[in-house]
Amino acid sequence: MAIEQVRSLEFIASRDTIIHNLEGRVKLVAILLIILFTVFSDRLIVPIVLECFLLIVMFLAELSFKESFKRILLLLPFGGFVIAFQPFIHPGNIIWQGPYTWLFITDTGLNWTVLLFARLLVCLTAIVILSSTSPMQEVVQSFRKLGMPRDLAMILTIMVRFLFIFVD
C-alpha cells in the first residue's frame, strides 16, 4: 500500500499546472524564503498572511485541499508535541491556574503557543506544496544546482531512491 501512495504522490507532482511547471530552483528558493521569513517573524500577522498565500498557491496548483490537509495533519504531531508545553513554561500574567500551584497558563505563554503553531502550520503547508508539485528527484537536483555539496546531494539521492523500499 505504501508504494501505491508514493506512486500517487509522484503522479500528483508531475501534473501540468502553473505551479507544477515552475523550475525546481524557483519553487525551492520560494519555499525556503517563506519558511525563513515565517520563522524569523515575531508578529502573528506574518504567518497568517503567508498561510493565505500558500492556500492560494495550493488552489493554483490544483491540489486537493482535503488530501493536503491530511498530509499536514500527519506531520503536525511532530512539532505539536513541543508546542503543547509552551503555555505552561513562559513567565507572564497568569490567566489560568490549575489544581496544582505549579500548573498555570500565562498570557505570554499562550501568545507564544499561537505564534509557534502558526509558524509550524505555514512550514508544513509549504513543505506539502513543494512535495506535491515537484518530484523528489527534481528537489534533489534543485538543491544540487543551488550549490549543495556533492556528497550531501549523493546521500539525499540515495535516501530518496531507497526510502520507498524501506517504507514497504
Range of the structural domain that residue 110 is part of: 15-135
Q: Does some domain include residue 10?
A: no
Number of domains in the chain: 1
Q: Does some domain include residue 2?
A: no
Q: Does some domain include residue 144?
A: no
Q: Does some domain include residue 167?
A: no
Q: Does some domain include residue 145?
A: no
Q: Does some domain include residue 159?
A: no
Judged against a pLDDT cut of 90, whether residue 7 lies above it is answered with no
- pLDDT, tens only, 124-153: 999 999 988 988 888 888 888 888 888 888
Q: Does some domain include residue 66?
A: yes
Q: Does some domain include residue 69?
A: yes
| CA distances for 102 relative to 18, 87, 105, 107, angstroms | 53, 12, 10, 16
Q: What is the pLDDT of residue 130?
A: 92
Higher confidence at residue 18 or residue 102? 18
DSSP string covering 128-140: HHHHHHS-HHHHH
Segment 72-80 mean pLDDT: 88
pTM of the complete model beyond 0.85: no
